[in-house]
Amino acid sequence: DVKVTQSSRYLVKRTGEKVFLECVQDMDHENMFWYRQDPGLGLRLIYFSYDVKMKEKGDIPEGYSVSREKKERFSLILESASTNQTSMYLCASSPILTDLGGKLFFGSGTQLSVL
């Protein structure tokens, strides 16, 4: 079974702190994604990566950055956390195969609260 592991299930941070959210997948998938999920707004894409050291902005990249130094690991960084970044953060991975594009495997999520 594909396993996508997010480092923390719950996280509480202070406004202005630099926050790192880590995600590791064990299936050698090329693509990795970071989404945030808020009530009424659904899943919104922050960043994605289709290869090591490659990154593409999603729909809401402002206030975030990412790092992918190894294929299995994709980190989301909140440079200076703000209260409007309180949310559920979901990491996902997917393989690059013709008929499997878009088949995402999600981690269990990190509920981040910024106080």
Partner 1 sequence: QKEVEQNSGPLSVPEGAIASLNCTYSDRGSQSFFWYRQYSGKSPELIMSIYSNGDKEDGRFTAQLNKASQYVSLLIRDSQPSDSATYLCAATKTSYDKVIFGPGTSLSVIP
Here's the x/- map for partner 1, 3-42, by CB under 8 A: it reads as: ----------------------------x-x-x----xxx
- For residues 111 and 56, the answer to whether their CB atoms sit within 8 Å is no
Token pair in block for residue 54: 């490659």
115 part of the interface to partner 1, by CB under 8 A:
no
Hey, how many other C-beta atoms are within 10 angstroms of the C-beta on 95? Answer: 14
d(CA 29, CA 31): 6
> Among residues 60 and 77, whose Cβ is nearest to partner 1?
60
Contacting residues toward partner 1, per CB under 8 A: 31, 33, 35, 40-45, 48, 50, 56, 58-59, 90, 94-109
